Amino acid sequence: MPWPPIDNAYATWTQEPCNWLDIVLGTVGWGYGDAPAGRRQSYLDLIAPNDSPSAQKAYGKLSGCALSALGWLRLFGLSDPELWSPYRIGRAVADVVTIARRHGAWVQGDVMPGLGDIVLVKSPEHVFVCLGIEDGIMTSCDGGQVDEQGQCIKVCKRPVTRRGSQLWLGSRRVMGVARINELAPTRGQVRPVRASDGNARCHEDPAP
């Protein structure tokens, strides 16, 4: 497994200190479809760098929401073993929670997410990163989305509502959040840049 991944016509991977939201937003638009050329390989390098090419063929049909979150944590510089081992089918969401718990970053229940937090909702389960809340609407970056080519990463919006003590984002209830400011990099960071994006910075980040 090469690390960082190998550059191609679609994306480059730069080893440099970088903030969390630059990493996350740097992958918006990535997906399994291979147009433009190199897009599929960059997406697989993000979500499944520890898997063999034959194993990676399954990722066109697997939801990439938690796999994307694990990929972002890998690029952010965490060393947890779940990030550096081949994927175990059905374990991606649990791995996100396990990593957050290990670092003391997991807050269970109907918790209002903050900027950059990883959010878990249920019915069905889904994982995404909060990009901010304004006028009762959360903007987020979500893997596990679909375009005309298949699985991809998109920016999404959902209304934030309270139903008694319950917190709902769109039609799904919040199960918990991973506080990004509690996650400290322990190895070199890698910043993904889509070729069409150049070197523009994305955001001021809540994390180091």
- Whole-number mean pLDDT of the chain? 94
What mean pLDDT is predicted for residues 108-131? 98
Peptide bond into 36 cis (omega under 30): yes
Residue 45 one-letter amino acid: D
Q: What is the pLDDT, as a whole number, of residue 198?
A: 64
Distance between CA atoms of residues 136 and 38, nearest Å: 37
Please give the Cα distance from 93 to 62 (Å, whole number).
13
Query: pLDDT tens across 174-185, in order?
Result: 999 999 999 999
Helices 65-76 + 39-47 axis angle, to 10: 80
Closest-CA residue to 169 (of 115, 130, 116, 206): 130
Q: Say yes or no to pLDDT of 111 above 50.
A: yes
Per domain, the residue ranges of the chain are 11-195
pLDDT at position 204 is 41
* Residue count (the chain): 208
Predicted pLDDT of residue 12: 97
pLDDT value at residue 199: 52
